[in-house]
Amino acid sequence: MSKSIAAVSRIAFLASDVLVDSQPAFPATSQFSKHFQSFAETTGRQPLRFEVPVGGDPASTILRNGSTASLVSFTASATSHTAVRLVVQATELSSLPLVLHIAVTDDLSDVILLRSAVPFFLVSYTAQQAHDNALLAFRIARVEKKAVIHVFYEHSGDASDVTTEGDIWRLLHSEKLAPGASFSPENGTNGYIEHAVVTNGVNGDAHLTNGINGSHSPGSTESPTDARIPNGVANGFCDIANAPPPVSAGLYELYEAALLSTVSCTRRTCRPLTFRGVDNPHTVAFVLGSLPNGLELDGIAFVPISLLTPLQPSKILHVIPSSTSRVILLEQLRRSNTKWTSLFLDIVNILQERQTSHRILVQNIWFTEPEQINAASLFKLLNVTSNLRSTSPLQLGSDAPSGPLVTVPHVPKHEVSYTKILSYIFGDHLEISNSPSFVPTQGAIVTSPEFALGRVRGQFEQRAQLTRSVQALMEVEGISPELHKALGQWLLVKNDRSKSRAVSDQVVASLKSASLQNAHVNRVLSLQAHLPARSKWIIGSDAWSYDLGSSGLHHAIASGLDINILILDSVPYSSRHSADPHRRKQDAGLYAMNHGHVYVASVAVYSSYAHVLQAIMEADRHKGPSVVLAYLPYKSENTPALEVLKETKLAVDSGYWPLYRWDPVKEARGQEPFTLDSDSVKNDLQQFLDRQNHLSQLVRSKPQLATELVSSLGESVKEARRKKAAEAYSDLLVALDAPPLVILYASDGGTAEKYAKKLMNRAKARGLSASIGTMDSMSIETLANEEYVAFVTSTAGQGEPPQNGRTLFKAFNAAVGRGDSPFSKLRYSVFGLGDSHYWPRPEDAHFYNRPGKDLDSRLEQLGGERFAPLGLGDDQDADGPETGYKVWEPLVWKALGVDNIQVLEAEPDPITNEHIKAASGYLRGTIAEGLQDTSTGALAPSDTQITKFHGIYQQDDRDIRDERQAQGAEPAYSFMIRVRMPGGVCAPKQWLQMDRISDEHGNGTFKITTRSTFQFHGVIKRHLKPTIQDINKVLLDTLAACGDVNRNVICSAIPSKSKLHARVYEFSKLVSDHLLPRTTAYHEIWLDNKLVAGEAVKDFEPLYGEFYLPRKFKVAVAVPPTNDVDIFANDLGFIAIVDKSGELAGFNVTVGGGMGVTHGNKKTYPRLADVIGFCTVEQGPLVAEKVMLTQRDFGNRVDRKNARLKYTIDRMGLDVFKAEVESRLGYKLSPARPFTFDRNVDDFGWTVGEDGKHHVTLFIENGRVQDEPGQDFKKGLREIAKIHKGTFRLTANQHIVISDIETDDVPQIKRLLTKYKLDNLNFTGLRLSSSACVAFPTCGLAMAESERYLPILIDKVEKICEEYGLRNDSIVMRMTGCPNGCARPYIAEVAFVGKAPGSYLMLLGGGYYGQRLNKIYRESVSEPEILAILRPMIKRYALERLEGEHFGDFVIRAGYISPTTEGKNWYDRMGGEGEFREVAAAQ
């Protein structure tokens, strides 16, 4: 047992938070792991430990588990594989507080290439030096947050002086010491001095007198400085007059500081260079390797190198005296990938800078054994080469440098059980494609599953060539009938293993006996090894064929080849929690099944031998990839078979390792493809189904019992509580002695937080001491000291915990993985909130309430005890989550002993937006005070509701939210600012100001929104006020761009109808101004109460009042035949009607449009507006006012999800609503006039208006104005704005119209458009008709990607369109990251609405010009499913569409989806029609 490894292991265990140990090749075991286990049993520390199997990737394990740790250790014995894996990710590793301890025996070949990988490289030659350098390495890593490589020899010598655990802790946590400041060992012994000059110091300066540890340096005649150093300095810390400037001086200073702290701890010197030998040698030998003890040679000085990186030139030069005529580098290497090592080249470069009168011969000598360095061999070699300029390194001894040693991997005896089964079934037909028997001839890589897959692919290709040659040979004239028959028989039975072998022998014999001179004959004979059919298997084993990153599995599945993969899992059930969760073999089965064409089986030979046989034979029969997961739990070859049997039984019976088979062929036949073969699991499942069936029958026979089963507060309970009112006071006094209750919640949308606060209020009403907080506000350590804790969590994304609970969830998972049980005194209960219909597919059902279920399970695994069973609230219940909550809450009170207490539960009303608005002082709130608070980048939650009325949303960067939370930092808060710009028209001066604002205050880009205005992202709090002021300088503002008010009024861009556009644009501004809030808060807060234009108004809201509107209110003006504003998607719409003379006669009025929906809540739906009449231009603003006021007074202020005008109209009835509006107007609206729409997309390119001015509409994908490589759109538009004399129009489809261009200016505009590629319209009709909202990373409501993902999806869908000749056909496709509908997805022909990362609601059948809602076609699709659905659909559309038929109309006519006749019927018949109907929807 190596003493060096023991010493290093001890320090690594005591110093590190995370230990990563690389395992040696089987059957050897890691010495480091043995020591770690011993220390774990004898000390109180429990660092996280991870084992990397031979062939694994240690760098990935380190990065995955050590990125947040204070200190990380990696331990390994040197191998070329380990070194290569570390070098590949050296950049990421070098910035971690990481020490890589690598043990070597007699060869540094594998580790020398790591020298340039990290900032520090230490080498230790003795056990004591390994101990001290390990301390030094950890000091550097922890203080400087940089990686250190520590290579040490596995010597058996003792580390006689061991640093205590307390001293190690103090060393790692002490502050830096300045060299020479306070401490120095005298001549290598203990000692302190009271002054700054270190007379006998360590790593001192030019005042050193006795060197370090009594050692000396060569001669003292080279410079005056040396004369001051009688005995020199061994490691050269003095100034040298002619020395070159230091290289990596900064790193060396860090090393020196750490070295001083280490020496002050160990009281031993620890030198980077050690000079051994005479004072005036003729040869200086730098040594990187192990020297014989006590070696002394006349005229030769040896300088062992302990600090390999950073290598200081001044230190190297200082140990070479003027008497030196030769410098050699002795390196202990057996092989090298380069002629000269990097160390030798560095020394040569350093010596070239040396200013001396004579040249020095520099040579590189390799040796393999320390005994080779002796007087006879070394002097002989030096004499022979005294005048030789070597062209390659010299070699001591007879061993020449060689390549890597190849050893055949050892297959553990337990694993032979599966290979024996394979041999038994297939006999001579078996081919294990990555068999260790191939290693001697093809190298060690042959056992890699990925390499083996390449071999198999090549074999299949060769067999295909063989088949073609046989077929060609049969057509050759002159072949004998016998040969022709044999070849024909082979073609018939070539895939039958038993028959093909016999026929193959006949074919070979016939070919050899025939006298044919033909190339095909030669080809068949050269490929005769492929004539017999074989059963090809690749075996994945952590012991000898590790599948790095499961790449072999992934590629095998994707290849579709007829290949079988046997994956062995050797993790014992009892050790499952300590295993790396990223290498779970069970997950491979789920992954493979998701591909649909792969046979998958999970087997365990020690559970059911027959099942293994059946699965292997079925896998072999399957034509395509097959994956067999085989369980074989053992720790070492010494593990007895009985222990393997026990572990297997535990795993199979518990369901940890289920036995099953998945045969996709059965699915193609209409049969059930999945077969569960675990008897115990099947029995448990049957008992569960029996219980469920019994309950169902009970409820059907006695319907009144159903209420009792799901409700806890019926009339009988209420009556019982009334009778006990007299006992309430005494019970309350008793309750004062009840234990305190801690309530923790995790909530994104606020619902879980609401229930948590409700529970707290009711707990206090019962006399309990209750406290509340987010889950992430509590650590495991703190939680372990609590007695009663109630958890309330909602469900986010794809069954994920909410943001403010993820850190604690991760901590729970890590603790479970370690097998910890910290909650011995904790009693807990969990209430989870979810939506059972959110994931309608059976395979996704486990996502329902997953955080609550997982939390309940984890707490139990960590030693907690439930005081009330898990409660689940379902949005689909009649009362939503309240139904489940009413069942769960009484159980909490009962467990706490306060269930019989009578209290008047006068709960405070929840604070709603209505309260916040009323208390805001007409939109003031405490915004001004919040802007002055520099302690946070955020505003108060109530103020963030008010800032919306000012056009401002608080957001944070969700791409880095988890990272910042892990760092303990608040989210990266910033703000979105939206400009109010009625009609979407701006002047060039305003454009230039928006461009400047995005650079100076935002993220360098800006967004053209679907409300035809500008939107900035990434504005931090201290830039809010300057940004608003800069916007105001060009006579724009942000007031009412968001919030519960009328928002930005939009109108059609219609560049060809200049005169008409001017009228509707003025009308849009008129309506916007008429409905604008009158509060002066905006000017007080942002403009210091100084208006740039106009006069201040008094604080009075004649239209809105102090409560403003129930919800947002959107107005649009459309000009037929272009419905580019999607008029029917707005609360209020005005459709321009032109009289016979072409003048604007007035508007048809539409009411009740709206897009917002809540997933799974069928009380919410999109709705298209209804036409209620006609008004003149003059009447328009008043009509807008009365419609808005009717919504103000009749809108739902209790439930914001049902507060939009569309719900008000459906609740009141359209006729009643219209009558109310007309009553307020004092007259009836005129009948609506005819109009026609034919599109809602923009007309791109150039056009000339009625006034002779030119206009050009530019395609800006998803409205993002930015500069990208090859697409400097932002810069190009800036340059155009500088010379443009007209206006810019922003369209509601997120594009830009450069308008009102004079004829003389057209060439200049065209030149700029061409220069910046803004005139490129070479896009598909699909892309030109697409639109997306912002979503990630800034939108706080986003559930999935949108703006960043839609272009990628269109890349793939448009290829399908082009394939079927639809490149130029317009198909309106829209995407949003959440169901709120900012990009108006519910009227698109194809739409995708985010539900979770990578998962979307798919909708079909919208009207091409916005006249019809689409409908849900699939409730959850990912990209592969989207493409699989759209390909045949688009193909049919290309082949079967009628003349002029649009895609949205076609999918209805073709029977894919039913039409949506009105918003209330949006959910009817969703999920497709007939053969296209989704199974989940049908149920």
CA distance 60 to 41: 28
CA distance 353 to 163: 41
Identify whether the C-beta of residue 288 lies closer than 8 Å to the C-beta of residue 305: yes
Identify whether the C-beta of residue 61 lies closer than 8 Å to the C-beta of residue 93: no
Which residue is catalytic, options 986, 1042, 1051, 1378?
Answer: 1378
Which residue is catalytic, options 1042, 1051, 1333, 1361?
Answer: 1333
Sign of CA dihedral 552, 553, 554, 560: positive
1056: DSSP letter: T
CA distance 780 to 814: 11
First to last CA, the chain: 66
Identify whether the C-beta of residue 1070 lies closer than 8 Å to the C-beta of residue 1182: no
Q: What angle do CA 950, 955, 959 make, to 5 degrees?
A: 160
CA distance 1322 to 1290: 21
CA distance 1264 to 1330: 13
Which residue is catalytic, options 1382, 1395, 1415, 1418?
Answer: 1382
Known catalytic residue at 1047: yes
Identify whether the C-beta of residue 990 lies closer than 8 Å to the C-beta of residue 1036: yes
Known catalytic residue at 1382: yes
Known catalytic residue at 1274: no
Known catalytic residue at 1051: no
Which residue is catalytic, options 268, 757, 766, 1114?
Answer: 1114
Region for residue 1046 given its phi and psi (left: phi exceeds 0; alpha: psi -120 to 50; beta: otherwise): beta
Tell me the CA distances in angstroms from 680 to 483, 647, 651, 1245, one per residue in order: 57, 15, 11, 69
Strands (E), 1209-1315: 1245-1248, 1254-1258, 1264-1265, 1267-1268, 1271-1272, 1287-1290, 1296-1301
Which residue is catalytic, options 334, 1112, 1167, 1374?
Answer: 1112
**Helix or strand (DSSP H, E) at 58:** helix 58-66
CA distance 691 to 712: 21
Identify whether the C-beta of residue 312 lies closer than 8 Å to the C-beta of residue 252: yes
By C-alpha distance, which of 856, 850, 822 is closest to 836? 850
Which residue is catalytic, options 238, 270, 1042, 1339?
Answer: 1339
By C-alpha distance, which of 584, 569, 542 is closest to 644? 569
Known catalytic residue at 1078: no
Instruction: Write b or e for each residue in 253-277: b if 16 or more Cβ atoms lie within 10 A of its Cβ, otherwise e.
Output: ebbbbbbbbbbbbbebbbbbbbbbb
1008: DSSP letter: E
For the purposes of burial, counting CB atoms within 10 Å of the CB of 428, is it exposed (0-12), middle (13-18) or buried (19 or more)? exposed
Q: Which residues contact 1198 (CB under 8 A, 6 or more apart)?
A: none
**Furthest CA-CA distance within the chain:** 121
Return the structure tokens found at 70. 């204070």
Known catalytic residue at 238: no
Known catalytic residue at 1374: no
For the purposes of burial, counting CB atoms within 10 Å of the CB of 1431, is it exposed (0-12), middle (13-18) or buried (19 or more)? middle
By C-alpha distance, which of 361, 359, 350, 349 is closest to 242? 350
Place of tokens 């990373």: 1337
CA distance 12 to 243: 38
Residue 1137 phi/psi, 5-degree rounding, is: -115, 125
The SS3 assignment for 85 reads: helix
Which residue is catalytic, options 978, 1011, 1057, 1384?
Answer: 978
276: DSSP letter: B
Return the structure tokens found at 1303. 């004829």
Known catalytic residue at 1378: yes
CA distance 1331 to 1351: 9
Cis peptide before 640 (omega within 30 of 0): no
Q: What angle do CA 436, 439, 445 make, to 5 degrees?
A: 95
User: What's the chain's length in residues?
Assistant: 1483
Q: What residues are annotated to the active site? A: 978, 1047, 1112, 1114, 1333, 1339, 1378, 1382
